[in-house]
Structure 1
Amino acid sequence: MLIPLSAGLLPGRMPPSHSQATIYGGETQVLLNRLHETVKQVGLEEIQILHNRANCQVYVHSQSLFQHTESGEVFQFAASSDLNLTRNRLSEVRSVYDSEQMAEFLLSGTAPRARKSHPPCN
């Protein structure tokens, strides 16, 4: 399910591979809404959230906020003091996170703990 945060995005369009981050975990509509509202507050209009319930994957796509290496192991998160997001200050987190932990990061600015295994879908 694709949630465009700006009117210009095309529903159903997959993010390009060079800027796609995969977050494993049980996602809920409430959590997607929290992500949606959080990124709206900080004006990151290009973010797309794609949830594939068939394989329990959540894709968060943004040229500015999320980037990953070819191996897919390094994520770069933006963090700031106001709403905990900025395009300038980046820190690397070397793991894969579930969507609830990503929402926690987006809301608090605190890097989530890594999950070692794929959690069940909700």
Structure 2
Amino acid sequence: MLAAVAIGLLLGAGGVGAAWAIAGDGSGAESGAATDARGACDALGGFDEAKFTAKGDEGLVALNRWSGAVTLSAAAAAGDPAYKPLSDSLSRAQHRHAQVFDFDAEVKKDLAQARGICEDL
């Protein structure tokens, strides 16, 4: 139980840290939902699901990019409903991954959908 809590805290902290690192401090003219969406897409663009379970820094990079993409897409959707499809596809992928602990066909389908949305931004 304690390990599950620790992992949850690590994932949450990683997502917030990645979101801050990607999005900046929000003080510039580029702040807002569009910036969050671009940040989510940048994180997703650098995410390689094959490296998610890698040991060491390679795995941590994948974990934080995944968490950052999900977190920033949610922020974008909260700021502008036009980004809800991006957030929804990443949220579905995250929830499915949490159920099966794998990037199965359903997770990959939602990731592909999110990547397609990113291409159109």
TM-score, normalised with respect to structure 1: 0.26
**Higher relative contact order (CA closer than 8 Å, sequence separation 6+):** 1
User: Higher helix proportion, which one?
Assistant: 2
Bigger Rg, structure 1 or 2: 2
User: Higher strand proportion, which one?
Assistant: 1
